[in-house]
């Protein structure tokens, strides 16, 4: 697999140690990883192996205990909190297992949220939000509250929220974990089409069916990458 | 029920922090209300502690303004509705007539009146007892006054030649005789009359006069001419001064008594009326008096409380106090309701399980209400302790001024009943909504996982309660601001003279055995001796003390001035020693001051103030013009020799009004001896020096009421001070409760919204965004509260407008200031929760299950 795409995410020797009640948990032990622009990578592994921890480091929600992380050609260790918040806001789109929509904001306002933190003018926000909602097929539900939507619809809104800011990478942590298989399929289909349209996606899942959508699957076991598998069929 | 109670107690004990805060808030609210209610009880509700007070009636009369007897000694009040003068003072003649012709309707008719000045010598020591009364011989028996020792006054004591006797109060017995039974049979010299002590009244009986006036000495009416020898008019039919009460015969109503006695009353006052308003043209005084007779209404009032003019005059003060403490109680209720809501939210699991196990909602409601009523009762119990202290604190603040400082505020059955009722009402008031809310659970949602969203459901009820609590605090604080600024305005008011470093005292020469005609010389002798004391720079005396609340007013008749119909010709009068203006530093504008040569033999002169000069002479010089008081023929009595600057004379609140001063030595009926001594250095150090000097000059003449002019003025501001202190205290307390409540609400909200906040940070919110989000929430609540509170305060402040001075009830500065304070407090209360929110780890977004 050779591609001229530049490297978007580069991890070198990343470790993460949690210290709770004098007990050290080695959640990640020396991860090396290179993800290029436009790739669709899935991370697989048993529960507790460190997938979420890895994703949180990729998403700058957490910092590695050791090792280097270069995002878009720029090392991100040692950045200040506001700088990290700014990168999360512009470069990263999150999709969570439990959707994480805010209950007393409308669909529109939920999608708009990251854009307001960017200080974007209202008119531009409107175009972006409408566009993102159209993309996920939820344009007609802009005024609804999340509680008025089904789980699958909520997750599509969450995808729209992640998309709206045109981030460099979409990070999804078991996006279908709370959905039935029909809704799960639909969300996967959506991610797949986004990938085809050019989005870089890193998705955590243990459902091998969905892992096959990705071009590459990274298997993690006990905090280490144990195997990389390339889906020949999916490659462009 | 029993089980409910036991469970409620256990559940309260399980969360001691919550219980403590709730009980403390309630104790404060209920305690304050109990305290004020004990005042309401004492002043407005309580009956005389005598036999069947419901049978007692009090006679009085009402008449259009200016119609009545020539002389009234006692309270007169204006009925706001009819404009009539209402008064309980009557003549001895009317008493005799009612007594002799009422036996079919009344089992007893009795009379009483305060003795204005009482000078007592006991064991050779002179003292002024300001409280004494004379009563008809049947007074004690007719009322059924309980006696502590000895006997009461009897009809046989009330005979012209009966040996003089005196009945003393329980308090006087304790103070002067330490409760020694041997006091009975000893003698007191009362205004020079040697009287034997025959009895002591029970402590709960404080007489039938105005509230708070405990009459230490009670003497028979027949002694009056010997006790007050200078009051030669007392037996005249036009001199109305005695109060008359009766006891209804069984089965007779007040209306029947009124119908049966109105004719007797009318006949009895026939010779006692004045001519009223100078009538037009040809009407003779006789015709005018006859016409006036029909205008005087006979009134038979309930007498179970004795005289009630003073009681009624405190109604507005008590209403304001009541409003204050009701607000405090509401604040406490809102506070506790909010605590209960948060607790209910924490108990969702417990309640869900109970509902699932088959408890009916009504059953659960009952359980939760039992808990809140139990909480209220704990609060009421602690509140009674607060009330116990609160009464002492309230009495220090002199809720009814100094005249009523003998009040006791017993926590009797009526007060306890009130407290119990308040406890039940508050328990339901603050408990119902949270209980309703807590039991309105969706069982299915409670157990099913469902798809949850972030942010948690925000309790609208909690927010409304918070807004109400902020609004209530604001109302209290606006009250505090208005009253405090009123007090300060009055304290800093320019009285028109230099009020600092003046020592005041009074002597009562007449009660001390001197003739009225001798008073000027006697007082001048004192003044001269005092002037020689070291540190004394000036000394003077006057008929009426300055800024004491008491005044002497007359209708002025001024030569060359024809009053318009209905014109107010009232002037404030005073008789003053020549040194008065210089001692008070009241500057003379034109003319001359008084000198020692302006004595009884010299031409009669007067000095007026600027307001007087302006009113009657405009820009012309008043010097050399003449005026008098009373009837037109007196207009040439006194020549104006000077004009002094306007000042406050009776009370600080008065507007500048015409005043006239006359030389004390030229007064025909001098009585007052109110001295003012201007000193250097600390005014407090002169007391013993002055006492010693006076004792040297005349050992029978005690010095009374020693105080500084500042103290004198401060006494007149006691209700302003009370309102300012209480509203500030309660306002700050309410503010504290509100800020604690706000802090709790926001902390709880941050806790429930942790996931949402983490998500927002994951999406790129910086800590500043989150900080502002929480502060903004607090500000939003505060602004709703401020708007609601400002509106309510504005509406309520109309009720206290008449109590304010130097600012309007809608004073924008006060409202804005208080609003800003609340906004500031809202920000401060939100800072800690906001900071906690801004430190939420964005990781929780990923980890939230
Ligand atoms: N904040 C934390 N503190 C302590 N241990 C943690 C923390 N987060 C994760 N872990 C531990 O790190 C390991 C990896 O967790 P996680 O990344 O959530 O696994 P996965 O998402 O693959 O199921 C687990 O053993 C987990 O208990
Ligand atoms: Mg995980």
ipTM of the complex: 0.91
How high is the pLDDT of residue A30?
A: 92
* Residues in CB range of B614: below 8 A, 6 or more apart: none
CA B462 to CA B345: how far, in whole Å? 11
What are the residue ranges of helices labelled H in A5-149? 51-58, 81-91, 107-117, 122-135
Q: Is the pLDDT of residue A113 over 90?
A: yes
How high is the pLDDT of residue B446?
A: 42
CA B73 to CA B154: how far, in whole Å? 26
How high is the pLDDT of residue A236?
A: 42
| A98/chain B closest Cα distance in angstroms | 7
Rounded to the nearest 10 degrees, the angle between the axes of helix B718-752 and helix B767-797 is: 150
Q: Mark yes or no for CB contact B846/A96 under 8 Å.
A: yes
Q: pTM of the full predicted structure? A: 0.81
Atom 4 of ligand 1, nearest CA residue: A18
Region for B44 from its dihedrals, namely left if φ exceeds 0, alpha if ψ lies in -120 to 50, beta otherwise: alpha
pLDDT band at A2 (very low <50, low <70, confident <90, very high): very low
Across A30-45, average pLDDT: 93
Residues in chain A: 236
Domain ranges of chain B: 1-46+312-449, 50-112+237-304, 117-227, 461-493+716-849, 508-702
Ligand nearest to the CA of A174: 2
* Residues in CB range of A111: below 8 A, 6 or more apart: A129, A132, A133, A157, A160, A161, A164
User: Is A89 in contact with A164 (CB distance < 8 Å)?
Assistant: no
- B248: three-class secondary structure by DSSP: strand
Q: What is the largest CA-CA distance in chain A?
A: 52
Q: Which atom of ligand 1 is nearest the CA belonging to A223?
A: 14
Chain B residue closest in CA terms to A116: B765
Q: Which atom of ligand 1 is nearest the CA belonging to A16?
A: 12
Q: Which of B454, B757, B844 to mutate to test the interface with A (most CBs of A within 10 A)?
A: B454
What are the residue ranges of helices labelled H in B492-643? 519-531, 580-584, 610-617
User: Nearest Cα to B543, choosing from B393, B376, B660, B703?
Assistant: B660
CA B188 to CA A40: how far, in whole Å? 114
Per-residue tokens: A184:
């799960």
Atom 25 of ligand 1, nearest CA residue: A48
**Distance (Å) from CA A50 to ligand 1 centroid:** 6
Atom 3 of ligand 1, nearest CA residue: A18
> Taking the mean position of all CA atoms in its chain, how far away is CA B687?
29
How high is the pLDDT of residue A234?
A: 45
The one-character DSSP state at B249 is P
Q: Which atom of ligand 1 is nearest the CA belonging to A47?
A: 23
- B245: three-class secondary structure by DSSP: strand
How high is the pLDDT of residue B407?
A: 67
- B496: three-class secondary structure by DSSP: coil
CA B745 to CA B600: how far, in whole Å? 78
Region for B228 from its dihedrals, namely left if φ exceeds 0, alpha if ψ lies in -120 to 50, beta otherwise: beta
CB of A51 sitting under 6 A from ligand 1: yes
Q: Phi then psi for B232, rounded to 5 degrees?
A: -75, -10
Query: What average pLDDT values come out for chain B (849 residues) when binned by 10 residues?
Result: 83 86 89 89 85 94 84 81 88 94 91 84 70 93 94 95 94 91 91 92 87 84 87 85 95 94 92 64 65 88 88 85 90 87 77 79 86 90 90 80 63 85 85 81 47 66 90 95 95 89 87 82 92 92 89 86 82 93 94 93 95 93 91 87 94 91 90 90 82 82 82 85 90 90 87 89 92 94 96 92 91 95 95 93 76
Chain A residue closest in CA terms to B769: A117
Q: Report in angstroms the alpha-carbon separations of B780 from B364, B814, B822, B832.
A: 34, 21, 12, 17
User: Nearest Cα to B327, choosing from B28, B641, B667?
Assistant: B28
Beta strands, E only, B202-260: 217-220, 239-240, 243-248
How high is the pLDDT of residue B450?
A: 43
- B765: three-class secondary structure by DSSP: coil
CB of A49 sitting under 6 A from ligand 1: yes
Of B451, B760, B846, the CB nearest to A178: B451
Q: How many CB atoms lie under 10 A from the CB of residue A29?
A: 16
Atom 26 of ligand 1, nearest CA residue: A48
- A59: three-class secondary structure by DSSP: coil
Chain A residue closest in CA terms to B761: A85
Region for A172 from its dihedrals, namely left if φ exceeds 0, alpha if ψ lies in -120 to 50, beta otherwise: beta
User: Nearest Cα to B372, choosing from B426, B321, B335, B308?
Assistant: B426
- B385: three-class secondary structure by DSSP: helix
**Distance (Å) from CA B587 to ligand 1 centroid:** 90
Q: Mark yes or no for CB contact B762/A173 under 8 Å.
A: no
Angle A14-A19-A25 from CA coordinates, rounded to 5°: 60
**Distance (Å) from CA A222 to ligand 2 centroid:** 13
Q: Based on DSSP, count helices (H) and strands (E) in chain A, helices before strands.
A: 7, 10
CA B391 to CA B383: how far, in whole Å? 12
Residues in chain B: 849
CATH architecture for residues A38-64+77-230: 3-Layer(aba) Sandwich (3.40)
């Amino acid at each position: 697999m050779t591609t001229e795409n530049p490297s978007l995410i580069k991890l070198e020797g990343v470790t993460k140690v949690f210290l709770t009640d004098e007990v050290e948990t080695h959640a990640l032990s020396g991860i090396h990883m290179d993800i290029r622009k436009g790739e669709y990578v899935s991370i697989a592994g048993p529960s507790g192996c460190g997938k979420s921890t890895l994703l949180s480091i990729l998403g700058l929600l957490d910092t590695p205990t050791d090792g280097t992380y270069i995002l878009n050609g720029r090392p991100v260790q040692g950045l200040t909190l506001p700088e990290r918040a700014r990168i999360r806001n512009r470069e990263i789109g999150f999709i969570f297992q439990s959707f994480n929509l805010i209950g007393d904001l409308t669909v529109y306002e939920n999608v708009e949220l990251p854009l307001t933190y960017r200080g974007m003018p209202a008119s531009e926000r409107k175009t972006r939000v409408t566009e993102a909602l159209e993309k996920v097929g939820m344009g007609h539900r802009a005024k609804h509250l999340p509680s008025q939507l089904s789980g699958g619809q909520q997750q599509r809104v969450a995808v729209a929220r992640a998309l709206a800011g045109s981030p460099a990478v979409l990070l999804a942590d078991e996006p279908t974990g709370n959905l039935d298989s029909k809704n799960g399929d639909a969300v996967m289909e959506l991610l797949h089409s986004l990938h085809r349209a050019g989005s870089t996606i890193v998705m955590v899942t243990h459902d091998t069916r969905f892992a096959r959508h990705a071009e590459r699957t990274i298997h993690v076991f006990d905090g280490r990458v144990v195997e990389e598998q390339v889906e020949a069929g999916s490659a462009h | 029920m029993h089980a409910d109670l036991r469970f409620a107690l256990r559940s309260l004990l399980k969360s001691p922090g919550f219980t403590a805060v709730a009980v403390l808030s309630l104790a404060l609210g209920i305690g304050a209300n109990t305290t004020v209610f004990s005042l309401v009880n004492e002043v407005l509700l309580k009956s005389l502690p005598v036999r069947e007070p419901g049978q007692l009636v009090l006679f009085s009369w009402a008449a259009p303004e200016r119609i009545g007897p020539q002389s009234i000694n006692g309270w007169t009040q204006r009925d706001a509705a009819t404009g009539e003068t209402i008064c309980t003072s009557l003549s001895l003649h009317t008493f005799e007539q009612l007594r002799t012709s009422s036996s079919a309707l009344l089992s007893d008719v009795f009379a009483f009146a305060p003795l204005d000045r009482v000078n007592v010598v006991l064991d050779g020591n002179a003292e002024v007892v300001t409280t004494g009364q004379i009563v008809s011989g049947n007074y004690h028996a007719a009322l059924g006054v309980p006696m502590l020792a000895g006997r009461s006054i009897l009809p046989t004591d009330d005979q012209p030649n009966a040996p003089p006797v005196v009945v003393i109060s329980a308090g006087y017995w304790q103070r002067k005789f330490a409760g020694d039974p041997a006091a009975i049979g000893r003698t007191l010299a009362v205004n020079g009359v040697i009287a034997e002590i025959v009895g002591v009244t029970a402590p709960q009986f404080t007489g039938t006069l105005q509230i708070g006036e405990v009459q230490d000495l009670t003497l028979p009416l027949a002694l009056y001419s010997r006790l007050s020898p200078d009051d030669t008019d007392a037996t005249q039919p036009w001199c109305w001064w005695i109060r008359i009460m009766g006891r209804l015969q069984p089965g007779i109503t007040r209306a029947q008594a009124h119908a049966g006695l109105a004719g007797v009353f009318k006949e009895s006052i026939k010779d006692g009326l004045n001519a009223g308003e100078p009538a037009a043209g040809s009407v003779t005084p006789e015709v005018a008096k006859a016409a006036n007779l029909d205008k005087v209404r006979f009134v038979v009032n309930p007498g179970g409380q004795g005289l009630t003019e003073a009681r009624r005059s405190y109604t507005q003060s008590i209403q304001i106090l009541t409003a204050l403490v009701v607000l405090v109680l509401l604040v406490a209720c809102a506070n506790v309701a909010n605590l209960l809501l948060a607790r209910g939210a924490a108990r969702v699991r417990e309640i869900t399980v109970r509902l699932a196990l088959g408890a009916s909602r009504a059953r659960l409601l009952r359980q939760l209400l039992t808990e809140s009523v139990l909480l209220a009762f704990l609060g009421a119990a602690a509140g009674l302790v607060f009330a116990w202290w609160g009464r002492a604190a309230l009495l220090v603040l002199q809720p009814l001024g100094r005249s009523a400082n003998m009040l006791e505020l017993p926590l009797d059955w009526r007060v306890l009943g009130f407290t119990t009722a308040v406890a039940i009402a508050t328990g339901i008031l603050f408990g119902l909504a949270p209980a309703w809310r807590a039991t309105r659970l969706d069982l299915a949602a409670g157990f099913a996982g469902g798809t949850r969203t972030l942010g948690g459901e925000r309790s609208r009820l909690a927010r409304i309660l918070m807004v109400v609590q902020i609004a209530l605090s604001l109302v209290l604080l606006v009250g505090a601001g208005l009253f405090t600024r009123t007090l300060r305005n009055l304290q800093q008011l320019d009285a028109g003279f230099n009020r600092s470093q003046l020592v005041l005292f009074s002597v009562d020469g007449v009660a001390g055995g001197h003739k009225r005609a001798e008073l000027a010389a006697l007082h001048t002798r004192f003044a001269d001796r005092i002037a020689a004391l070291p540190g004394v720079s000036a000394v003077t005396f006057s008929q009426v003390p300055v800024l004491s609340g008491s005044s002497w007013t007359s209708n002025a008749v001024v030569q060359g001035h024809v009053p318009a119909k209905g014109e107010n010709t009232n002037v404030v009068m005073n008789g003053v020693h020549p040194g008065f203006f210089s001692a008070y530093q009241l500057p003379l504008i034109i003319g001359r001051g008084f000198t020692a040569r302006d004595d009884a033999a010299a031409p009669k002169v007067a000095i007026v103030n600027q307001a007087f000069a302006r009113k009657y002479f405009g820009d012309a010089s008043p010097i050399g013009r003449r005026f008098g008081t009373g009837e037109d023929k007196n207009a040439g009595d006194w020549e104006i020799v000077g004009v002094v600057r306007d000042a406050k004379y009776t009370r600080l609140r008065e507007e500048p009004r015409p005043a006239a001063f006359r030389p004390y030595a030229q007064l025909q009926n001098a009585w007052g001896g109110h001295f003012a001594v201007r000193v250097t250095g600390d005014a407090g150090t002169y007391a013993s020096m002055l006492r010693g000097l006076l004792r040297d000059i005349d050992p029978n003449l005690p010095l009374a009421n020693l105080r500084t002019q500042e103290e004198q003025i401060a006494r007149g501001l006691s209700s302003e001070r009370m309102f300012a202190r209480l509203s500030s205290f309660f306002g700050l307390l309410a503010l504290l409760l509100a800020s604690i409540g706000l802090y709790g609400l926001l902390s709880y909200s941050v806790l429930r919204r942790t996931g949402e906040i983490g998500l927002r940070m994951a999406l790129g919110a910086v800590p500043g965004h989150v900080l502002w989000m929480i502060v903004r929430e607090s500000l939003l609540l505060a602004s709703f509260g401020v708007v609601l509170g400002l509106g309510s305060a504005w509406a309520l402040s109309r009720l206290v407008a008449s109590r304010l001075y130097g600012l309007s009830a809608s004073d924008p500065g006060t409202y804005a200031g208080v609003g800003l304070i609340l906004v500031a407090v809202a920000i401060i209360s939100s800072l800690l929760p906001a900071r906690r929110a801004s430190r939420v780890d964005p990781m929780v977004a990923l980890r939230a299950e």
